[in-house]
Amino acid sequence: MIEESASNSSKTAAGKVAIVGAGPGDPELVTLKARRLIESCDCLLHDHLIDSALLDWCAPECEVICVGKRAGRHCMDQSEISRLMVEKAMEGHDVVRLKGGEPGVFGRLGEELVALRDAGISFEVVPAVTSAFAAAASLGIPLTDRDCASGVALLTGHEQPAKTGSHGVDWRAWGAMDRTTLVIYMGVQHLEQITSDLVDGGRASDTPAAAVQWASTPMERSVVGTLGDLALKVNEAALGAPAVLVVGEVLGRV
């Protein structure tokens, strides 16, 4: 009876959650730790933009649930994802929350950590290669360079570009940062306005700029130009999301 009671107690003990970065797309860029956790978890909640090869690493008995979105169509909103993650852990499952890219870069990591902390769930975060690094690697450039770029900024282009100051990215202000490489996530939809505002802010129209779609995957495509013509070239190439934009003199190394 004592052994049975202990067994029942272990079944109801809360599991752990690992928030794991899946990287930019190439399964070979996933960390060894990420693979170990995927192989051993009881439940895996994954974004849509995940290479299916990663899901093949799951054990046959693992419950696999897609919680991501595609082209603006959500399987679940963020609050539901957080609720499900906590619920599965409270049921005693070890959960992997598999997120595209690097969880801490425009991945809503903070919201999921708040939910786990509030519920008292043990967790760990497993970092990954972010698409900024994959895009730079595919272009064959550094993001910083002692001759022309003393810093790099990771920015979101998802907000309405007309927003400024405390309400969004002030692109004109970033246009004044002429020794900083800008890497813009989710910016293709507003590319024309973003590049125009950067020029209005002081960045030269002939500043090298590039867009890389599906970096690190077999579907990878890229367009290289300048702030003055990148929007036109991207439109002509019909290059869309998911894509990363890179702006800066480091692209002169291409």
- Please report the pLDDT score of residue 73 as a whole number: 53
With b meaning 16 or more CB within 10 Å and e meaning fewer, what string describes 29-52?
A: bbbeebeebbeebbbbbbbebbbe
| CATH code of the domain occupying 13-126 | 3.40.1010.10
> Under DSSP, is residue 172 helix (H, G, I), strand (E, B) or coil?
helix
pLDDT in tens, the chain (254 residues): 333 333 344 446 889 999 999 999 999 999 999 999 999 999 999 998 899 999 999 999 999 999 986 555 556 789 999 999 999 999 999 999 999 999 999 999 999 999 999 999 999 999 999 999 999 999 999 999 999 999 999 999 986 445 544 457 999 999 999 899 999 999 999 999 999 999 999 999 999 999 999 999 999 999 999 999 999 999 999 999 999 999 999 998 66
85 catalytic residue (yes or no): no
What is the CB neighbour count within 10 angstroms for residue 240?
15
> Under DSSP, is residue 243 helix (H, G, I), strand (E, B) or coil?
strand
88 catalytic residue (yes or no): no
- Please report the pLDDT score of residue 233 as a whole number: 98
> Under DSSP, is residue 221 helix (H, G, I), strand (E, B) or coil?
strand
Catalytic option among 69, 76, 178, 229 = 69
Characterize the bridge pairing of strands 208-213 and 243-247.
antiparallel
118 catalytic residue (yes or no): no
Same fold, 13-126 and 131-253: no
Paired strand residues for 153 = 182
- Please report the pLDDT score of residue 77 as a whole number: 87
Q: Cα(240)–Cα(227) distance, rounded to whole angstroms?
A: 17
> Under DSSP, is residue 211 helix (H, G, I), strand (E, B) or coil?
strand
H runs (alpha helix) in 91-143: 109-119, 131-139
- Please report the pLDDT score of residue 1 as a whole number: 33
CA atoms within 13 A on the CB side of 231: 15
* Cα–Cα nearest to 50, from 38, 41, 62: 38
With b meaning 16 or more CB within 10 Å and e meaning fewer, what string describes 188-221?
A: bebbebbbbbbbebebeeebbbbbbbbbbbeebb
- pTM score of the predicted model: 0.87
Catalytic option among 16, 76, 178, 186 = 186
Q: What are the φ/ψ torsions at residue 214 (nearest 5 degrees)?
A: 50, 45
Sketch the domain layout of the chain as residue ranges.
Answer: 13-126, 131-253
Q: Topology of 131-253 in CATH?
A: 3.30.950
Catalytic option among 47, 51, 94, 197 = 47
